[in-house]
Amino acid sequence: MAKRNKISIIGAGNIGGELAMLVARRELGDAMLLDIPEKEGVAKGKALDIMQTGALEGFDAKVSGTSNYADIAGSDVVIVTAGVPRKPGMSRDDLLSINLKIIRAVAAGIKEHAPDAFVIVISNPLDAMVYEMKKQTGFPKSRVVGMAGVLDSARFQCFIAEAAGTSVKEVRTLVLGGHGDTMVPVLSACTINGIPVTSLVEKSALDAIVDRTRNGGGEIVKLMGTSAYYAPASGAIAMAESFLKDQKRLLACAVFLEGEYGYSDLYMGVPVVVGKGGAERVVEVSLGADEKAMLDKSAEAVRGLIADSAKL
């Protein structure tokens, strides 16, 4: 009999709860929701609520809550959402010192109890958090990735579909770089069912969309008073599913770069084939001079964050 997959989710807050729901609804495997001892009740309560939804919606999945890292043993995938979300007026970078301490504690738990897992980090500031996760666990780069590009690409896709008046399903987009205001939405790689978007949507509208995408996270923080959770959870699930089912999807993920695109020793968003080997292969697309210059700027911003982390 095939073994059931186990997906552990660290942090049972807004994103964690939605992740557990998606794991169960899609029957990707059993979900373990872990939070700090003070929030163990929340983790257990959400787990029960989701299991009971299964009775109504007709899905089979075991969802459990815990505050004990021993319970993540045997995980195929660990998704990390632990941390403080952004509040209005706070940039992702402001979160650095608070969330760095949390990531270090979480990394120790994963290293000890789930040493073979594929780890997907969502906590912000993403590029610094995922870098720290790799540093602290010592896991190979193929098994420690960050979820950001998938989300930023989805936002870009959504705005383009609206402007072009087409279904979002026909739109393909790519966003590279760090998960911050310097991210690089790549217009040259954006198509509507193969047709270059630049021939279908006016330049001024596209420029506004690029801007809106860069500030897509902040737009939601301003509206809700906390950061987004549905789309971030869906983004991580796309990555987890591609790994678990060896789908080899080409997804924009934050991965550890060792020379690709001319950068080394940093995590940044690039297109990656995700399969049973984890982040299996970085795909290098040719970029225009402007795009490369923007990516250089983004890499600098990420380097700054990583340097700041090293001092904390």
Under rule CB under 6 A, residue 13 binds ligand APR: yes
Rounded distance between C-alpha atoms, residue 52 and residue 59, angstroms: 10
Interface with ligand APR (CB under 6 A), residue total 27
Closer residue to ligand APR (CB): 47 or 206 = 47
Scanning residues 45 to 84, which ones bind ligand APR (CB under 6 A)?
A: 81-83
CB atoms within 10 A of CB 211: 13
> Which position among 16, 146, 177, 269 is part of the footprint of ligand APR (CB under 6 A)?
16
Decide: 171 and 161 in contact? Cβ < 8 Å.
yes
> Which position among 85, 178, 185, 275 is part of the footprint of ligand APR (CB under 6 A)?
85
Cis-peptide, bond into residue 125, ω within 30° of zero:
yes
Rounded distance between C-alpha atoms, residue 30 and residue 6, angstroms: 5
| Smallest distance from ligand APR to CB 34, Å | 6
Rounded distance between C-alpha atoms, residue 200 and residue 206, angstroms: 10
Amino acid (1-letter code) at residue 236: A
Under rule CB under 6 A, residue 216 binds ligand APR: no
| Smallest distance from ligand APR to CB 269, Å | 15
Q: Which residue, judged by CB position, is nearest to ligand APR in the bound state?
A: 13
Under rule CB under 6 A, residue 39 binds ligand APR: yes
Scanning residues 221 to 240, which ones bind ligand APR (CB under 6 A)?
A: 226-227, 229, 232
Which of these ranges, 12-20, 45-53, 161-169, 286-294, lies near ligand APR under the rule CB under 6 A? 12-20
Decide: 191 and 197 in contact? Cβ < 8 Å.
yes
Given 179, 184, 197, 255, the catalytic residue: 179
DSSP assignment letter at 177: B
> Which position among 6, 46, 86, 143 is part of the footprint of ligand APR (CB under 6 A)?
86
Amino acid (1-letter code) at residue 269: G
* Residue of 147, 60, 140, 120 whose CA lies nearest to 244: 120
Rounded distance between C-alpha atoms, residue 146 and residue 5, angstroms: 21
Closer residue to ligand APR (CB): 5 or 67 = 67
Longest dimension (CA), the chain: 56
Closer residue to ligand APR (CB): 6 or 86 = 86
Rounded distance between C-alpha atoms, residue 206 and residue 217, angstroms: 18
* Kind plus residue range of the DSSP H or E element containing 100: helix 96-113
Residue 179 appears among annotated catalytic residues:
yes
Under rule CB under 6 A, residue 150 binds ligand APR: no
**Interaction site with ligand APR (CB under 6 A):** 10-16, 34-36, 39, 81-83, 85-86, 99, 102, 105-106, 122-124, 226-227, 229, 232
Just list the catalytic residues.
179
